[in-house]
Homo-oligomer: A and B are copies of this chain.
Amino acid sequence: MINKLVANIKKTNAPIVVGLDPMLNYVPEHIKTAAYEQFGETLEGAAEAIWQFNKEIIDNTYDLIPAVKPQVAMYEQFGIEGLKAFKKTVDYCKAKDLVVIGDIKRGDIGSTSEAYAVGHLGKVTVGSKQYAAFDEDFVTVNPYLGTDGVKPFVDVCKAENKGIFVLVKTSNKSSGEFQDRLIDGKPLYEYVGEMVNKWGEDAMGDEYSMVGAVVGATYPEMGKILRKVMPKAYILVPGYGAQGGKASDLKPYFNEDGLGAIVNSSRGIIAAYKMEKYQSFSEKEFGLASRQAVVDMIEDINGAVFG
Interface on A for B, CB 8 Å cutoff? 21, 23-24, 32, 36, 41-43, 45-46, 71, 73-74, 76-80, 82-84, 87, 105-113, 115-116, 118-120, 124-129, 131, 133-134, 142-149, 167, 170-179, 181-184, 188, 191-192, 195, 238
Contact = CB atoms under 8 A, between A and B. Distances in A.
A245 to B, nearest CB: 13
Given A78-B133, A115-B76, A191-B181, A175 B43 contact: no
B79 A133 contact: yes
B145 A143 contact: no
B21 A112 contact: yes
B144 A170 contact: yes
Contacts of A181: 183, 188, 191
Contacts of A184: 182
Contact of A146 (B105, B175, B183): B175
A151 B174 CA distance: 11
B179 A167 contact: no
A110 B172 contact: yes
